[in-house]
Amino acid sequence: VDLASTSDLTSLSMMIVQDDIYYFKSWPFLPESALQQNVNAEFYKKMARNHHLIATNGNVTDYSEVTKVLLQIAERFTIGVFYESGNATQWAIDCTAQGLPLTPISQSLGSFNRCTKEFERLVKMGNCRIDNNPITRWCFDNVELKFDHNENCKPVKKGGAKGGAAKIDSSISMLSALGG
């Protein structure tokens, strides 16, 4: 799970491994206000109309909607939930109270290096299947890799952009699932 701090894109991704193939499905969330007051508003409206985006009531993402999807998944599968703990304290408390097994995962360069390189390996081997959500594809289109002096890497927004139109949240939540 990659939770937005307020009114940004939030993404939940599920990973299932079967016969050495890694299957990923993502659910992006956004507050309804971002369908009107956002640089990506027209794209988001189209995605919500086509059921590729879950718009939550209000001007901040309603994390309880993320939890509802997690609980539905947990009804069918034994799961682990990996999330970045920044901005997530109350959500983590609520999820834990509902029986969801949460584990914080750092999105630091050192922590994301292993799962980023493993994801690349899986893709190159043809062992990765990603759902056909246009938001997921768009998030990957906005990714570039940041490297340190030890060749550790992690995904960042192209051009090092902060905020703005470029979003990478679905790619981050997928890597969190793989890293966990």
Mean pLDDT of 5-15: 89
Token output for 163: 């905020």
Task: Please tell me the total number of residues recorded for the chain in this structure.
Answer: 180
Span 34-61, pLDDT tens digits = 898 889 999 999 999 999 999 999 999 9
pLDDT of residue 150: 93
Q: pLDDT tens across 132-142, in order? A: 999 999 999 99
Residue type, 56: T
- How many angstroms separate the Cα of 155 from the Cα of each of 15, 59, 114, 135, 179? 18, 27, 12, 16, 13
| Average pLDDT score, the chain | 93
Q: Give the tens place of pLDDT for each residue, 69-115.
A: 999 999 999 999 999 888 789 999 999 999 999 999 999 998 899 99
Residue with tokens 């794209």: 43
